[in-house]
Chain A
C-alpha cells in the first residue's frame, strides 16, 4: 500500500506543476501588467488581422 503522505505529496506536486504550466502558457502577463499601469503609461494594444 502507498502511504497517504506520498499520495498527498504527489497530488500537491501535480497541482503545482499544472498551475505553473497554466500560468505560464495561458496567462498573458504583459497584458495583465500593462492594465495595472497608470493610463498615461500603458502601451496601446493595436488589433489587426493578417490582411493588407
Chain B
C-alpha cells in the first residue's frame, strides 16, 4: 500500500511493482513520456467529490473564487473536474489556487482551515462528512456524467510475457465489481467489503468505508469497468487544454483492451459474507 500516486509511478518505473492503480491522466502522461505501461482496466466509476467546510462561507461553486483547493496531483481527474466546473461557471484557473496534497492529508487540512476545499476520491470526502466538518459541494458526476478516476496499469513487459497473469488479475477485478454491484445484495455485500477491506487492506476504520460505499449505494460504482475510447479521449482533450499533456496521443498507445474483452463474460464471485472461500 502506498500513500500517494507519485510513489506508485516510481515503483512501476523501477519494476518494484508490476501493476498498479493510478489516476488516469497520470497513466496517460507516463505513456506519452515513453514509460512502458498500458491501461488495461478501470478501478471504479465515480467516487470523487469536491468538499468544503460544513459551516464555512462556500455555499456554491462561484464562492470558490480566490480560495485554495487541494488536489491529489496535477495529473489527476480530480483536477480536471475542477477545470470542467470552472469553465461551466465562466471562471478560469486564475480564479482559484490549486495545491497538490497526498490524499490521506486533505481531510485534516480542511479541518484545520489550511485549505478551503479539496477535490478527491473516496473515502476522503466521506471522512470529512462523517467527522462532521465537511460538506459535499458537488460529486464529480454532476459535471462529468461518465466520470472515471483510477485505472489499472500494467508494465508492458508483463503484458508481453505473462498475458495469462494479467487476464487473471483483470478477471478477478471484474468478478469483484459484479459481486459488489449485484442489485439485490448490494447493501449487505458492500458493508461486508467495507469491513474486510478496512481491516486487512486499507487499515482504515470500516465505518468510514461503509459510509463511502453505501451513502448512497451508487456513490462509487464498480461496473462497467471496460476502458471506453470516448471516456479517455475526453481526458486527453482536457489534459491538453489544461497544459499537462504536450502532444496528442492515440487511445491504442496507452490502452490495451484485450483483457477487458477477455473478462466480458465473467460472472460475480460465488461468495456470501461468512463463507470460508470465494469461487
Binding site for B on A (CB under 8 A): 39-40, 44-52
Contacts and interface: CB of A to CB of B under 8 A. Distances in A.
Contact of A52 (B44, B154, B161): B44
Contacts of B158: 44
Contacts of A39: 161-162
Interface in B154-208: 154, 158, 161-162, 165-166, 169, 201-204
Nearest to A45: B17
A38 B121 CA distance: 37
Nearest to B10: A47
Nearest to B19: A46
B108 interface: no
14 contacts: A39-B161, A44-B18, A44-B19, A44-B162, A47-B12, A48-B21, A49-B1, A49-B3, A49-B4, A49-B103, A50-B204, A51-B150, A52-B212, A52-B220
Secondary structure type dominating chain A contacts: loop
B47 interface: yes
Interface in B6-42: 8, 11-12, 16-22
A28 B103 CA distance: 26
B166 to A, nearest CB: 8
| 3 nearest A-B residue pairs (beta carbon) | A47-B20, A52-B47, A50-B202
Interface residues of B, number: 41
A47 B120 contact: no
A52 B5 contact: no
A49 B1 CA distance: 6
A22 to B, nearest CB: 21
A44 B165 CA distance: 8
A44 B11 contact: no
B29 to A, nearest CB: 17
A52 B19 contact: no
B3, B11, B21, B220, most chain A CB atoms within 10 A: B21
B205 to A, nearest CB: 11
Contacts of A48: 1-2, 8, 20-21
A50 B169 contact: no
A48 B19 CA distance: 9
B121 A51 contact: yes
A51 B203 contact: no
A47 B27 CA distance: 13
Contacts of B5: 49
B121 A40 contact: no
A40 B20 CA distance: 19
Interface string B203-224: 1100000001000000010000
B226 interface: no
Contacts of B116: none
Contact of B17 (A46, A50, A51): A46
A47 B19 contact: yes
Given A45-B16, A48-B1, A51-B150, 14 more contacts: A40-B161, A44-B165, A44-B169, A46-B17, A46-B21, A46-B169, A47-B22, A48-B8, A50-B104, A51-B103, A51-B121, A52-B48, A52-B121, A52-B150
